Structure formats: C-alpha cells, structure tokens
Amino acid sequence: MAEAKELFIGFDVGGTSVKMGLFDKGGRLLGRNSVPTPPIVDEAGYAAVTDGVEELVTTAGFTLDQVVGIGLAVPCPVPADGKIRLQANIQLNEAGLKAALEKVCPNVTVQFANDANAAAMGELWAGSGRDYQNLVFVTLGTGVGGGVIVNRHLVAGAVGAGGEIGHMCMNPAETRVCGCGGKGHLEQYASATGIVTSYKAECAARGTEPVELEGPSDSRSVFAAAKSGDEAAWAAIDTMCDYLGRALAIISSVVDPEAFVLGGGTSNSSDMFLDRLVERYKSYALAVCTETPIEVASLGNDAGIFGAAYVALQAAGA
C-alpha cells in the first residue's frame, strides 16, 4: 500500500485521445494513461473517461479518494470562471463530465483550462519555466497559441481569449484569411502552416521549385531546405522571425514577463531560427525589455498533462 498523499490528475483532451497523467504535489509524474476520445456528452462517454481515471490511479497503487484535483486541458477557449461558452473542436458536456469525475473521486476539485494555456502552466510547474513566476508561452504548431502567466496564475481572460497570441493582427494589409476569419494574424506567418505558405510564395516570386512537402504544415521540410541553402526557405524563416519578434516585443510592453518560452513542433527547429528571432525581438522591444530571455520548452507533448494538473492543484488550494 502506497503512503497517503494528495494526488492530481492532468488531462489533455485532444481530438483523437484523452491523455492523463497522475502527479503528486511536487510535480512528479506517477503514472500515465490514455483512452480514445469519446463524444463526452453522455453516460457512455463519461464512463470511458472515468474508467481511464480508475485504471490510472489503481495501477499506480493509489486509491481514488486520494485524488484531490483534476484539471482538463481542452481545445477551446476557457475563461477565468472556467465556464466554456464556445466549443469548436470537441464534443464536450463539461458539467456532465465534472459530475461524473466527482462521483468517482469524492474529494476532487475539477477545473478546465484551454490547452495552450495549460501547456504554459506545465512549463512553469515542471519545465523550462520552472525558475519564473511570470512568463509568456508561445506554441508554434499547425497554429500559434499561447499562455500568459502572471504571479504563477494564468491570465485566461473574460471570455477565454487570454493568450490567443496567434490572432494578434500583425499585418493589416494582408489579403489572405486566417483560420479564425481575420487577416494578417501572427499565426499566418509563424505557424508551421504559415511557414510553408510563405515558403511557397517566396519560391513563386523567385521562379524556383519548392522542395517536396508532406502536406500544408510540413515546416520541417522547409527548415531542411534552408539548411541545404534554399534562399526561399530562409526568406520564409526570416518572415516568421520578424513577425514573431515584433509580437513578443508588443507583449513585453503589456505584461513584461521574466521570459518567453517557445513550444510546439516548430520549436524543435529552434537551432535554425532562435538567433534571428532574438535579434528581431531586440530590434522591436522597448530598451528595458531587450534582455528578456526567449527559451525553448522542455516538456514537449506532456506540457498539457502537467499544466492541467497544476491548474487543478491551484484550484484545489493545495
């Protein structure tokens, strides 16, 4: 029998799977589990999730009454009050799921968070942001998301738009349309999809043939092309760095974080762009902000489960 302790579970609710991590108060990962994402709207859906929780906790040698916090990172905006108003990417009845989790874990506090916001909290709790109280996390994936943390707490916002860094309008002259319907948003230049789009445009302008790409978000091939001297690829990377550097400079004048942390798939290519990004950031930032470090996230795809658990820990007042 394991010793009595307070446990926290972080969920990362994605389109295909619900990942779960079991943690102690110190941020130690004690076990993990994953179930295919059901439509979380009825008893069968709730049961698929609670069965996963039961398996996670018992397999690690603990009991369900030791779970005092469950945090759920979900792919939709979550305002500071935790009440989800808009669901674009997932079928979820949050009140029903919350009730089902509370039934299985009698001592639990349940809290929802936006997935990018949760990833920011994960990096703060156990990743690259561990040394900070205030940071801004930017995830560079197929889209661009983020999380703003002030005094170790998320700035989720009144309607859940806190940290929606990807939809800052950086170029009012843009004619192409962003995934959200706007134009000229950061995501259109700094996401993996944006890098590929910029690369194709640079090739067309030069009359050169783009390298073979595996889909519209294959920025990895663009970075590989840059490495082998493709000028159009470098131009696309420069565009990304310029817009992202300017966005971070604007953010530094609003919340003045101790650090920026970059996550998402594109951050794996940071050796190719971080120097350029820092240079662009410094050129745009207020003089007092130019030394703010820009670091790379360390938890990878686990940031969501860590952060969701930490959000739950805070909500439980533990």
Q: Does 182 bind Zn ion (CB under 5 A)?
A: yes
Residue 221, C-beta contacts closer than 8 angstroms, at least 6 positions apart: 211, 212, 213, 214
Residues 149-178: x/- map of binding to Zn ion (CB under 5 A)? ------------------x----------x
Nearest distance from C-beta of residue 169 to Zn ion, angstroms: 8
What is the radius of gyration, based on Cα positions, of the chain? 20
Residue 157, C-beta contacts closer than 8 angstroms, at least 6 positions apart: 79, 80, 163
Nearest distance from C-beta of residue 217 to Zn ion, angstroms: 16
**Strands 7-13 and 17-24, bridge-based pairing:** antiparallel
Q: Which of 181/207 has CB closer to Zn ion?
A: 181
H-helix segments, the chain: 43-59, 94-104, 115-126, 187-190, 192-206, 219-227, 231-252, 270-284, 303-315
Nearest distance from C-beta of residue 179 to Zn ion, angstroms: 6
Report the C-alpha gap between 70 and 9 in whole angstroms: 5
Q: Does 246 bind Zn ion (CB under 5 A)?
A: no
Nearest distance from C-beta of residue 98 to Zn ion, angstroms: 30
Residue of minimal Cβ distance to Zn ion: 178
Q: Which of 77/210 has CB closer to Zn ion?
A: 77
First to last CA, the chain: 23
User: How many chain residues are in contact with Zn ion, going by CB under 5 A?
Assistant: 5
Q: Which of 123/164 has CB closer to Zn ion?
A: 164
Nearest distance from C-beta of residue 115 to Zn ion, angstroms: 17
How far is C-alpha 65 from the chain's CA centre?
30
Two tokens, residue 177: 């349309």
Segment near Zn ion (CB under 5 A); pick from 1-9, 31-39, 179-187, 233-241: 179-187
Residues 278-297: x/- map of binding to Zn ion (CB under 5 A)? --------------------
Nearest distance from C-beta of residue 187 to Zn ion, angstroms: 5
Q: Does 185 bind Zn ion (CB under 5 A)?
A: yes
Among residues 203, 233, 235, 239, which one has the least CA distance to residue 219? 233
Task: Please report, as ranges, the residues that interact with Zn ion according to CB under 5 A.
Answer: 167, 178, 180, 182, 185
